[in-house]
Amino acid sequence: MHALVTFSRFVGNTFALWILLFAVLAFYQPAWFLPVIHWLVPLLGLIMFGMGLTLRTEDFREVIRRPLRVLIGVLAQFIIMPGLAWLLCKLLQLPPEIAVGVILVGCCPGGTASNVITWFARGDVALSVAITGATTLLAPLVTPALIWLLATAWLPVQFGALFTSILQVVVLPIALGLVAQRLLGDRVRVAVDVLPLASVICIVALVASIVAASQAKIAESGLLIMAVVILHNGLGLALGYLAGRLCGLPLAQRKTLSIEVGMQNSGLGAALASAHFSPLAAVPSALFSVWHNLSGSLLAAVYRRMED
């Protein structure tokens, strides 16, 4: 068991490389990964169930203890990234399906990978977890509303269908994880110890299947989508840090806000795009999954050396 836990931590610490490796493999051998596209929703649900297993009462107390800083993070998350996505789509005149995909990933809540990156960057991990948890729980209402508001200029958006999907793949699995944690107590520690391995497998499968399903479109428009993803993520990281500075937050919280804003739950974006739009609309989320883990890790190495 100790060997499995050690391997799980190793895979978790190198998850960006695994995502990149299998994304490239899926591009050149799409047939190997195409069947996985039908399992997007269950895979994302498994990731969210794992998040529920790791959430603690202290994480919710952080919202009560420092409500203003959590509120700043939530507002920055749901204003900066959706706004940037809409602006980039307009300025670059993106095709409808790609534009909707970019807006989708911009409107998603923060991703759990941001908590790990925040820890490595010597940011405020408790605040990071609180912001991720708050944006995730608000996502069933806020994410469909933002997508409907910003994306209807390109394609029809069904608020009710998106709301139901997010309840099914985010809120319900997290709630089940919390219940399992409460009922099983310390016995869930074994599962939590191998969660990094399970999460990486699920995320890699998500990304690889989307790349495989859209291989032809990526070959045609991949450079454009990748450029938009890099701009979106980079500007989000920078504006998140700036927002923290303008609000007078200490350095550790500025790092946290930067990472929380710039790193999205792109797995949710991919699942929503595939279910309600098209595989091409899921490509920005898939590429975002690859890129934001790499950029976040590089930025964390820089932030780690910064001191007040």
> What string of pLDDT tens digits covers the 308 residues of the chain?
666 667 666 766 666 677 778 888 888 888 888 888 777 777 777 777 777 777 666 666 766 777 888 999 999 999 999 999 999 999 999 988 889 999 999 998 887 778 778 877 888 878 888 888 888 888 888 988 998 999 887 877 777 888 888 787 777 887 888 787 777 766 666 666 666 677 777 777 877 887 787 777 777 777 888 899 999 999 999 999 999 999 999 998 999 999 999 988 877 887 788 778 877 888 888 788 778 878 887 888 788 888 76
Is there a domain that residue 31 lies in? yes
Residues 6 or more apart in contact with residue 62 via CB below 8 angstroms: 70, 126, 127, 129, 130
Is there a domain that residue 156 lies in? yes
**Range of the structural domain that residue 185 is part of:** 19-303
Query: Hey, how many other C-beta atoms are within 10 angstroms of the C-beta on 49?
Result: 20
Cα gap 122→117, rounded to integer Å? 9
Give the model's pLDDT for residue 209: 80
Is there a domain that residue 120 lies in? yes
Long-range CB contact pairs, 274-277, < 8 A, 24+ = 274/37, 274/40, 274/210, 274/213, 275/40, 275/41, 275/165, 276/158, 276/161, 276/162, 276/165, 277/97, 277/100, 277/101, 277/104, 277/155
Q: Please identify which residue in the block is written with the tokens 């790092």.
A: 255
DSSP 38: G
CATH of the domain at 238: 1.20.1530.20
Residue type, 2: H
Cα gap 62→75, rounded to integer Å? 17
264 phi/psi in degrees, rounded to 5? -105, 160
Is there a domain that residue 180 lies in? yes
β-partners of residue 110 are: 264
Is there a domain that residue 284 lies in? yes
Residues 6 or more apart in contact with residue 34 via CB below 8 angstroms: 209, 212, 213
Give the model's pLDDT for residue 261: 93
Is there a domain that residue 308 lies in? no
Is there a domain that residue 8 lies in? no
- Please report the sign of the dihedral spanned by the C-alpha atoms of residue 212, residue 98, residue 40, residue 267: positive
Cα gap 151→272, rounded to integer Å? 13
Query: Hey, how many other C-beta atoms are within 10 angstroms of the C-beta on 275?
Result: 15
Residues 6 or more apart in contact with residue 240 via CB below 8 angstroms: 76, 80, 257, 258, 259, 260, 261, 262
Residue type, 87: L
Domain count, the chain: 1
Is there a domain that residue 229 lies in? yes
